[in-house]
């Protein structure tokens, strides 16, 4: 299909101009491009999606492409106008679909060579194009391409309405050094960083440190994934290496699911939190090191830690998502805080703690309970419930024991007395406290 497209559309043919200042046209390879350097539409979408819109535009540096002229270019991709024009971009899922490639095997055959990692592994096919991939795992996940049209729609939403939940700022809950630092070793996905930031905000962990993040820092995708934990993202710091990131800390725990042949203390999250709270109370600074999404921490990196932190998990499936690991540590940190509250606290919601939530009610007094007992026993006796009569004392004792165990509130006692009165006297008379005989 692509060869047919190239025959039908000659290089430089203009597609319908859908912008005021920047034209989308067909490039030499039958791809939708714009600007003097034939920048692909997919590159524009990727740049503005991976970073902020302003950062993306700055990186692209296309004359005439600004916030005011960007949307028509995005609409070309988001509206799948490429289908009408019979063109596609490299890396887009539409291209593999247009080429009729349905499996990874077919994708490999369509290439001349696929270079994996440092080049020691190479896959040869029957095509003319050479591509590279960091590892076979990435190839298996990404061979079919990205849904650029979906990314374009998200960028349009940001362009029109700003960053989702940008109004939710939040603020640190502790002073510098009063909480342990969360340190991510070479995080690969910006989305994961954002979800880690959200977990940090959930549990009052304000110091997030990133060691050589793959997609650079700051990153707009991380901010979006943080879902309002903007202050954690804004204050997060990126470091070039491990030693630099922990230089100001006195104690560091390294999380791992693998057993290490190292003579270091092995702690559960609960034990690690106890250790850190003790040290922080003495004025020391602490941190927890989390490994890469793909392969965790290297042994040489763990060697810099004071202790290993191992989370109780299913031994046959021990790998945790990065944000999940941070969230579990954060939960233990918050759980050990004597001043914590369950759930949120707002203008209309007060701090809530474990135990029976009485709200505006109060526990019934013994006098109120005695009144219920006497009322119930009197009406039961009148109805002939205590039969034989000599069992009355035992049955009444059982009733009092059962009702006392309820820990009833004052309102609940009044409700029970109303029920008893209605059953014995009828609804109208019970309301009047009627003593009349029917």
Cα distances (angstroms) measured from residue 354 to each of 17, 147, 243, 255, 306? 63, 47, 41, 30, 34
> What does residue 116 show for φ and ψ, rounded to 5 degrees?
-105, 125
* Non-local CB neighbours of 308 within 8 Å, separated by 6+ positions: 253, 254, 255, 256, 260, 262, 264, 265, 266, 267, 302
Instruction: Give the residue carrying structure tokens 């499996």.
Output: 103
Please, which pLDDT band fits residue 6 given cuts at 50, 70 and 90? very low
Residue pLDDT, tens place only, 61-93 = 999 999 989 999 999 998 888 888 889 888 898
Residue 32 pairs with which residues in a beta bridge? 26
As a whole number of angstroms, the distance between CA 220 and CA 50 comes to 6
As a whole number of angstroms, the distance between CA 204 and CA 337 comes to 10
Please, which pLDDT band fits residue 438 given cuts at 50, 70 and 90? very low
As a whole number of angstroms, the distance between CA 306 and CA 351 comes to 36
Assigned token pair, 39? 């920048």
With contact defined as beta carbons under 8 Å apart, do 3 and 9 qualify?
no
Residue 310 pairs with which residues in a beta bridge? none
Residue 307 pairs with which residues in a beta bridge? 253
Is 241 a residue whose pLDDT tops 90? yes
Please give the share of the chain, as a percent, with pLDDT higher than 90: 45
Residue pLDDT, tens place only, 319-368 = 899 999 999 999 999 888 766 666 665 555 666 666 667 777 889 999 99
As a whole number of angstroms, the distance between CA 394 and CA 399 comes to 9
Within 10 angstroms of residue 186's Cβ, the number of other Cβ atoms is 18
For residue 43, the SS3 value is helix
Query: Model pTM?
Result: 0.53
Beta strand spans in 266-336 (E): 266-267, 286-290, 307-309
Instruction: Give the residue carrying structure tokens 């994934």.
Output: 225
Closest Cα to residue 230, out of 175, 271, 193? 193
For residue 58, the SS3 value is helix
As a whole number of angstroms, the distance between CA 210 and CA 187 comes to 7
Please, which pLDDT band fits residue 55 given cuts at 50, 70 and 90? confident
Within 10 angstroms of residue 82's Cβ, the number of other Cβ atoms is 24
Alpha helices by DSSP H, listed for 123-217, are 136-142, 148-161, 190-202
pLDDT value, residue 169: 55
As a whole number of angstroms, the distance between CA 264 and CA 356 comes to 43
Q: 51-55, 348-352, 368-372: lowest mean pLDDT where?
A: 348-352
Please, which pLDDT band fits residue 287 given cuts at 50, 70 and 90? very high
Mean pLDDT of 404-430: 86
Biggest CA-to-CA distance, the chain: 108
Alpha helices by DSSP H, listed for 203-308, are 220-225, 230-235, 242-245, 269-281, 299-302
CA triple 228-234-235, angle to 5 deg: 120
As a whole number of angstroms, the distance between CA 266 and CA 254 comes to 10
pLDDT value, residue 431: 57
Residue 114 pairs with which residues in a beta bridge? 123, 131
Rounded to 10 deg, the angle between the 53-60 and 67-78 helix axes is 90
As a whole number of angstroms, the distance between CA 306 and CA 263 comes to 10
Mean pLDDT across the chain: 84
CA quadruple 126, 131, 137, 138: dihedral positive or negative? Answer: negative
* Non-local CB neighbours of 121 within 8 Å, separated by 6+ positions: 115, 136
pLDDT value, residue 16: 44
CA 138 to chain centre: 22
Q: Helix, strand, coil: what percent of the chain each, to 5?
A: 45, 10, 45
* Non-local CB neighbours of 438 within 8 Å, separated by 6+ positions: 426
As a whole number of angstroms, the distance between CA 365 and CA 1 comes to 84
């Amino acid at each position: 299909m692509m060869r047919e497209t190239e025959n039908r559309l000659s290089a430089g043919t203009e597609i319908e101009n859908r912008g005021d200042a920047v034209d989308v046209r067909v490039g030499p390879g039958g791809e939708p491009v714009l600007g003097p350097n034939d920048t692909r539409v997919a590159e524009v979408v990727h740049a503005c999606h991976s970073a902020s819109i302003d950062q993306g535009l700055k990186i692209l540096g296309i004359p005439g492409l600004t916030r005011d002229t960007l949307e028509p270019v995005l609409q070309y991709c988001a509206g799948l106008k490429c289908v009408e024009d019979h063109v596609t971009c490299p890396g887009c899922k539409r291209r593999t679909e247009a080429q009729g490639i349905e499996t990874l095997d077919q994708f490999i055959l369509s290439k001349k060579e696929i270079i994996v990692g440092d080049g020691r592994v190479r896959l040869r096919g029957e095509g003319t194009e050479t591509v590279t991939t960091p590892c076979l795992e990435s190839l298996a996940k990404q061979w079919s391409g990205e849904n650029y049209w979906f990314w374009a729609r998200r960028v349009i939403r940001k362009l029109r309405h700003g960053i989702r939940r940008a109004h939710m700022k939040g603020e640190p809950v502790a002073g510098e050094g009063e909480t342990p630092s969360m340190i991510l070793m070479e995080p690969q996905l910006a989305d994961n960083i954002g979800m880690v930031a959200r977990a940090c905000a959930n549990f009052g962990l304000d110091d997030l440190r990133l060691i050589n993040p793959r997609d650079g820092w700051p990153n707009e995708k991380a901010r979006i994934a943080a879902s309002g934990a903007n202050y954690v993202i804004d204050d997060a710091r990126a470091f070039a290496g491990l030693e630099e990131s922990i230089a100001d800390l006195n104690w560091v725990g390294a999380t791992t699911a693998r057993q290490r042949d190292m003579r270091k203390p092995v702690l559960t999250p609960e034990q690690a939190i106890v250790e850190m709270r003790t040290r922080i109370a003495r004025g020391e600074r602490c941190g927890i090191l989390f490994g890469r999404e793909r392969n965790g921490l290297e042994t040489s990196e763990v060697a810099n830690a004071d202790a290993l932190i191992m989370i109780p998990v299913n031994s046959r499936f021990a790998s945790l998502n990065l944000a999940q690991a941070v969230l579990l540590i954060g939960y233990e940190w918050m759980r050990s805080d004597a001043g914590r509250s369950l759930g949120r606290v707002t203008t209309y919601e007060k701090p809530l703690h474990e135990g029976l939530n009485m709200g505006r009610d109060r526990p019934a007094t013994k006098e109120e309970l005695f009144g219920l007992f006497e009322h119930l026993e009197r009406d039961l006796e009148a109805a002939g419930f205590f039969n034989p009569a000599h069992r009355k004392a035992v049955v009444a004792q059982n009733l009092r024991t059962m009702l006392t165990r309820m820990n009833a509130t004052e309102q609940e006692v009044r409700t029970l007395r109303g029920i008893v009165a209605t059953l014995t006297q009828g609804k109208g008379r019970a309301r009047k406290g009627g003593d009349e005989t029917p």
